[in-house]
């Protein structure tokens, strides 16, 4: 039952990653792996999640689907919008 929730969450994450612009991340190269935690109680269903996104060759900034850019400036996250 919890595994379905994890799979659904990864689908949402994958969808969000595909909305980042510029779109130079090949979705076929995204990798998601679940590792079962050895020694955990069966009823706990503990897993480690590995989500690998390949590096991009784009040097410019990336924007969210809502055309927002987040930067860390003087230790504070700042939200900027695309021109």
Taking Cα atoms as reference points, which of 52, 17, 53 lies closest to residue 35?
52
Question: pTM of this prediction?
Answer: 0.49
Contacts of 8 (CB under 8 A, 6+ apart): none
Q: Where are the domains of the chain?
A: 2-81
What tens-digit pLDDT sequence spans the chain (83 residues)? 466 777 777 677 767 777 777 677 777 788 888 888 888 777 777 888 888 878 877 777 777 777 888 888 888 888 887 76
pLDDT recorded at residue 71: 83
> Taking the CA atoms of the chain, what radius of gyration do you get in angstroms?
17
Question: Which pLDDT value is given to residue 83?
Answer: 66
pLDDT at position 3: 65
| Four-residue CA torsion sign, 11, 17, 20, 23 | negative
């Amino acid at each position: 039952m919890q595994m379905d929730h994890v799979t659904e969450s990864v689908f949402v994450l994958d969808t969000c990653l595909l909305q980042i612009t510029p779109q130079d991340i090949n979705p076929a190269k995204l990798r998601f792996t679940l590792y079962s935690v050895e020694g955990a109680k069966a009823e706990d269903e503990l897993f480690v999640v590995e989500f690998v996104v390949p590096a991009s060759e784009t040097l410019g900034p990336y924007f969210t689907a809502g055309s927002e850019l987040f930067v860390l400036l003087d230790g504070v996250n700042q939200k900027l919008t695309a021109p």
